[in-house]
Structure 1
Amino acid sequence: MTIAFSKYHGLGNDFVLVDNRHQPDLILTAEQAVKWCDRNFGIGGDGVIFVLPGQQGTDYTMRILNSDGSEPEMCGNGIRCLAKFIAELETADGVPVAPPKAYTIHTLAGTITPTLQPDGQVTVDMGEPILMAGEIPTTLAAADERVISKSLTVAQQDWVVTCVSMGNPHCITFVDDADAIDLAAIGPKFEHHEVFPQRTNTEFIEVMSRDYLKMRVWERGAGATLACGTGACASLVAGVLTERCDRTATVELPGGPLKIEWSAIDNRVYMTGPAEKVFAGGME
């Protein structure tokens, strides 16, 4: 059976989008998702994203299978792509979509609300950051304590890390030169470190100024990617917690910039950035 798809990317973090609205179960297996994401023998992508029927009063449900077949709780760049894909599907169904247009999306990280903006950007209410060690989760501190500027030995080197969850776990470390980090060598060692029982995403942040951060990322289940939306959000939160940056800043990723705000009013994190369609097709 041939399954239709659309290919989207958010700052180079690329995904295969599938219309799964007709049933609550995924129409691809993890093994098929790995095949689809193969950049030589498949479509190519950092993951496959499925649009399913809404749950608990939401408009739609989002589920993701990473390029290694694992399932993350959420993806910031992915949900911007999802919002654009939903608008594409609704338009094809004859439903008018006029930005600003907001969708409520059920995810494994809770309800997330992306809003299509008139300029083509997508703003996502990412919710409140999770800061307690037991909820991130990590064993770097007691379950009811924050993990701020803690020492962690990885690959026989001591790192100072701050941990944040945006519905998925992140370990952030501030470095003098982000470009000097050998992601392929050090990233997997962070991801699979014993202090992260559910593995972790890892961000290496160079502070350019209080409102501009440079970031490189090793994503859990996907490896080195050009962008990570939840990682950019977690990194700004870590920057504020360690007094390195302001509550609103541009986070520069290899694929381009995101605007991130951690609101002092409602404690929620807001991410604004692009999502673009690349092509569409069908795959068995």
Structure 2
Amino acid sequence: MLRFSKMHGLGNDFVVLDCRTTPFALDETTIRALADRHTGVGFDQLLSVEPARDPTCAFYYGIWNTDGSPARQCGNGVRCVAAWLHRAGALALGEPVRLESPSGPVAVRLLSAHEVTVDMGEPVFEPARIPFEAAAEAARYVIEVNGEPLEIGAVSMGNPHAVVQVPVSPSRGMARQAPAITMHPRFPQGANTGFAEVLDRGHVRLHVHERGVGWTQACGTGACAAMAVLHRRGEVDERVRVDLPGGSLRIDWHGPGHTLWMTGPAAFAFEGEWPTD
């Protein structure tokens, strides 16, 4: 039997596996079966807690989407990994610790058993590093979506994001646009697509369509990406509350040359076992 913990960050839900002593060995078919919300456990991402490859980090965490594809970063996921490690006795409250993700190290600190602040690194706007196809870096790009021009921001938070600023109370066009943006050819690796409403300079409402997953209750890197794009444009201040369908995150960024910090909850749902044969 495969033991697991079911966790979530604002409804963005995860299956967490303890791979500290046993190597991760699930194939794509098994991951898809686990992810199925009718016949499996159900999750947005699968997280594996493993020994660190980087000697400056305490642990490594792997990330897989519901379709079995690997992911590079997950903001809500890293908070859940930190809370899981704290419950396992491997991470103390208030102690800054570096964890290794597929996109590199991140610093985490538990404010309480269920609230974590994470240094998500400095947002990357250089098109080649996102990756996004563009002749030069810009605060706004126009892409063609379903035969019509659409203005977006593009940024990497360890994974690629497209950010669309929309009016308060946006139309239902998001449902039609989102999959086309997520798989747009100018994002060679696909993108997570965020639709951001600026309610005031310290308050944003956000809906995110994730590559390999679809619409989610919350997306930590999506909240970071939206704040970074909007702050760079001068639309929001250095501290922003981002409301997602599953709840709120606090994002702090002082601009270029500074790393971005995300603060939010991590919750345990239940423990379980999955038959492996």
Q: What's the TM-score, normalizing by structure 1?
A: 0.92
Give the whole-Å Cα distance in 2 for the aligned partners of 1:60 and 1:230: 20
The question of whether the paired residues in 2 share the 8 Å contact of 1:83 and 1:103 is answered with: no
**Residue 36 of structure 2: aligned partner:** 38
Using the TM superposition, give the Cα deviation of residue 147 of structure 1 relative to its aligned residue in structure 2, in angstroms.
3.5
Q: The residue matched to 2:38 in structure 1 has which SS?
A: coil
Deviations 1:35-70 (A, max 9, x none): 111100001110110001012211000101100111
Using the TM superposition, give the Cα deviation of residue 282 of structure 1 relative to its aligned residue in structure 2, in angstroms.
0.6
Q: Does 1:272 align with 2:263?
A: yes
Unaligned runs of 5+ in 2: none
Give the whole-Å Cα distance in 2 for the aligned partners of 1:269 and 1:205: 18
**Residue 95 of structure 2: aligned partner:** 101
**Residue 19 of structure 1: aligned partner:** 18
**Residue 173 of structure 1: aligned partner:** 164
Q: Does 1:53 align with 2:51?
A: yes
Deviations 1:151-184 (A, max 9, x none): 1111123211110100100000100145534544
For 2:112, which of 91, 95, 118 is the aligned residue? Answer: 118
For 2:123, which of 104, 124, 129 is the aligned residue? Answer: 129
Q: The residue matched to 1:195 in structure 2 has which SS?
A: coil
Unaligned runs of 5+ in 1: none
Q: The residue matched to 1:277 in structure 2 has which SS?
A: strand
In structure 2, the CA distance between the partners of 1:17 and 1:165, relative to structure 1 (3 Å rule), is same
Deviations 1:262-282 (A, max 9, x none): 134851000000010000011
In structure 2, the CA distance between the partners of 1:119 and 1:81, relative to structure 1 (3 Å rule), is closer
The question of whether the paired residues in 2 share the 8 Å contact of 1:149 and 1:162 is answered with: yes
Using the TM superposition, give the Cα deviation of residue 187 of structure 1 relative to its aligned residue in structure 2, in angstroms.
1.7
| Percentage of matched positions with identical amino acids | 36
Using the TM superposition, give the Cα deviation of residue 99 of structure 1 relative to its aligned residue in structure 2, in angstroms.
1.2
Q: What's the TM-score, normalizing by structure 2?
A: 0.94
Q: Does 1:250 align with 2:226?
A: no
Give the partner amino acid of 1:252.
Answer: D
Give the partner amino acid of 1:105.
Answer: L
Note the 1:134-153 alignment, pairs <5 A.
134-139=128-133, 141-142=134-135, 145-153=136-144
**Residue 202 of structure 1: aligned partner:** 193
The question of whether the paired residues in 2 share the 8 Å contact of 1:183 and 1:218 is answered with: no
Give the whole-Å Cα distance in 2 for the aligned partners of 1:36 and 1:107: 22
Give the partner amino acid of 1:104.
Answer: R
**Residue 211 of structure 2: aligned partner:** 220
Give the whole-Å Cα distance in 1 for the aligned partners of 2:203 and 2:65: 29
For 1:186, which of 177, 181, 187 is the aligned residue? Answer: 177
Using the TM superposition, give the Cα deviation of residue 75 of structure 1 relative to its aligned residue in structure 2, in angstroms.
0.2
**More displaced stretch, 106-115 vs 183-192:** 183-192
- The root-mean-square deviation of aligned C-alpha atoms, in Å, is 1.6
Deviations 1:225-281 (A, max 9, x none): 010000100110100121111121001101011000113485100000001000001
In structure 2, the CA distance between the partners of 1:242 and 1:16, relative to structure 1 (3 Å rule), is same
The runs of 4+ residues in structure 1 deviating greater than 2 Å are 177-186, 263-266
Q: The residue matched to 1:232 in structure 2 has which SS?
A: helix
Give the partner amino acid of 2:119.
Answer: D
Give the partner amino acid of 1:118.
Answer: S
Using the TM superposition, give the Cα deviation of residue 98 of structure 1 relative to its aligned residue in structure 2, in angstroms.
3.8
Give the whole-Å Cα distance in 2 for the aligned partners of 1:98 and 1:76: 20
